[in-house]
Structure 1
Amino acid sequence: MSVNSYLSTLSSELVLSSTENTNINTSITTLSQRLNWYFNNGELHKHFQFGSNTRGTILPRTVDSKSDVDYMVVFKNPNGYKPETLLNYLKNFMHKYYSKSEIYRDSPTMVLELNHIKFELVPAVQDDWGNLSIPSKTNLLSDWMSTDPTGFNQKLITANVNNNYRLKPTIRLMKYWNTNKLGHHYSSYLLEKWIVDKYNYFTKSSIKEYVYDSIESMSYNWNDSQTFKDKIDRAKEIVSNCKSFEANDYNALALKEIKKLFPEI
């Protein structure tokens, strides 16, 4: 088996199984119904799923224990309550309907851990023009920051088509590497965005080429840990070895080498 065939097969195995997908969809439907029941006095504008699950780039929990579903709850908030109050509303909602599940705060979200998936509920507010804002973690001048939770989806869809449907498999592979070899060093969303921006207009001929080029393009900052720097350098060395083996028709050795970064599931 070639490196490209192996990575292509692995990327397919990183898609949610039909059972996992069904369980998640059932949980989303239940969550939506319960939000409607709990906030039944017109407190909400709307609520909806967003994030990697809506883009088809979420990883199964078997390979990423931190895999989660992002869910936005948009409050009308006529009294101008601060994020803390809205987060408490969501916490009380969770304790009413999910009292036996693990519930905790991970600013600026409330996290609900079920047996098969983790939900991150994000409180939001909406202005008169429909623009959304979520709690700000870094802006000292405002409690809120603007957001476009579904805007990236179309950009990814377009880029994936322009790249002959190879970007989503590449994203899943790079997220798998980030999860299992880098300890989630990179933000999942920012890693996806980096890949989409990088290859929006510069296509490659195979999934292998995207993966090789992505790793070769990785860099680190002076203040990153030496452990992380060593991992990036090692990954680049492995890619270099793979290319050398392939150039000399040692495909079995190249395959063995790439599995050091992308082990079998």
Structure 2
Amino acid sequence: MSVNTYLSTLSSNLVLSSIENESIKKSINTLSKYLNWYFDSDDLHEHFRFGSSTRGTILPRSADSGSDVDYMVVFKNPNGYKPQTLLKYLKEFMEKYYSRSEIYRDSPTMVLELNHIKFELVPAVKDDWGNLSIPAPATDFLEWTSTDPGGFNSKLTTANVHNNYQLKPLIRLMKYWNTNKLKGYYSSYLLEEWLVNRYSFFTKSSLKDYVYDSIEGLYYNFNDSQTFKDRLDYAKKVVSNCKSYELTAYPGLAETEIKKLFPEL
């Protein structure tokens, strides 16, 4: 088997199964129902799923035990409550309907861990023009930061078509490597964004070439940990070895080598 065939097969296996998709769908329907019961029409504008689970780039839990579904709850907030208050409201909501589940804050979200999936509920507010804002990171001086939860989806869709539908498989593979070999060093969203920006104009001929180029295009900073530097250097060395084996007509050795970064599920 060639490296490209192996990676293509693995990327297909990193797609959520129909069973897992159906389970998530049921959980979202239940969550939506509970939100409508707990909050009245004066409390919320809307609530909806967003993020990687809507883009087809979420990993199954067999590949990423921390895989989660992002869910935005848009408060009307006429009294101008701060993010901490809205997070508290979400916590109280979870405790009422999910008292046996693990619930904790992971700023700027409230996390709900069920047996089969993890939800990250994000409080949001909407201005008079329909613009959304979510709690700002703790490092920011502002309390709220603007967001466009659907904007990146459109950009990814366009880039995926431009790249002959190889971009989503690439993203799943790179997230798998990041989670399992880099211990989640990169933010999942920022990694997706980097890949979309990198291939918005320039395309590659195969999924293998995208993977090679992506790893070769990553660099570390001076203040990164030595552990991360070693792991990234190792990945680059594996890519170099794969290329050498392919040039000398040893596809089997190249496949064995790439599995060091992307093991079978």
Q: With the length of structure 2 as denominator, give the TM-score of the two structures.
A: 0.99
Q: How does 1:177-196 map to 2 (within 5 A)?
A: 177-196=177-196
**Cα displacement (A) at 1:42:** 1.9
CA distance in 2, matches of 1:136, 1:36: 26
The amino acid that maps onto 2:34 is R
CA distance in 1, matches of 2:135, 2:221: 28
| Superposed CA offset, 1:222-258 (max 9, x none) | 0001010011111001100000000010011000000
Alignment of 1:200 with 2:200, yes or no, is yes
CA distance in 1, matches of 2:106, 2:139: 17
The amino acid that maps onto 1:40 is D
Q: Which residue of 2 aligns with 1:237?
A: 237
**Cα displacement (A) at 1:149:** 1.1
| Superposed CA offset, 1:46-92 (max 9, x none) | 00000000000000011101100000000000000001110010001
Q: Which residue of 1 aligns with 2:227?
A: 227
Deviates most, 140-149 or 169-178: 140-149
Cα 1:138–1:95 shift into 2, 3 Å: closer
**Cα displacement (A) at 1:142:** 2.2
The amino acid that maps onto 1:230 is D
Q: Structure 1, unaligned stretches of length 5 or more?
A: none
CA distance in 1, matches of 2:117, 2:233: 33
CA distance in 2, matches of 1:31, 1:120: 12
Counterpart of 2:61 in 1: which secondary structure?
A: coil
Q: How does 1:140-179 map to 2 (within 5 A)?
A: 140-179=140-179
Q: Which residue of 2 aligns with 1:251?
A: 251
CA distance in 2, matches of 1:218, 1:139: 25
Counterpart of 2:99 in 1: which secondary structure?
A: coil
How many residue pairs are counted as aligned between the two chains? 265
The amino acid that maps onto 1:30 is T
Alignment of 1:79 with 2:83, yes or no, is no
Q: How does 1:116-135 map to 2 (within 5 A)?
A: 116-135=116-135
Q: Which residue of 2 aligns with 1:263?
A: 263
Q: Which residue of 1 aligns with 2:67?
A: 67
Q: Which residue of 1 aligns with 2:88?
A: 88
Q: Structure 2, unaligned stretches of length 5 or more?
A: none
CA distance in 2, matches of 1:252, 1:204: 22
Q: Which residue of 1 aligns with 2:58?
A: 58
CA distance in 2, matches of 1:111, 1:138: 17
Cα 1:140–1:13 shift into 2, 3 Å: closer
**Cα displacement (A) at 1:41:** 4.3
Identity %: 74
Q: Which residue of 1 aligns with 2:5?
A: 5
| Superposed CA offset, 1:106-146 (max 9, x none) | 01100000000000000000000000001111465421111
Deviates most, 195-204 or 142-151: 142-151
Alignment of 1:101 with 2:101, yes or no, is yes
Q: With the length of structure 1 as denominator, give the TM-score of the two structures.
A: 0.99
CA distance in 1, matches of 2:236, 2:84: 44
| Superposed CA offset, 1:190-230 (max 9, x none) | 00000000001100000000000000111000000101001
CA distance in 2, matches of 1:82, 1:247: 59
Q: Which residue of 2 aligns with 1:215?
A: 215
Q: Which residue of 1 aligns with 2:34?
A: 34
**Cα displacement (A) at 1:150:** 1.2
**Cα displacement (A) at 1:40:** 1.8
| Aligned alpha-carbon RMSD (Å) | 0.8
Counterpart of 2:119 in 1: which secondary structure?
A: strand
The amino acid that maps onto 1:75 is F
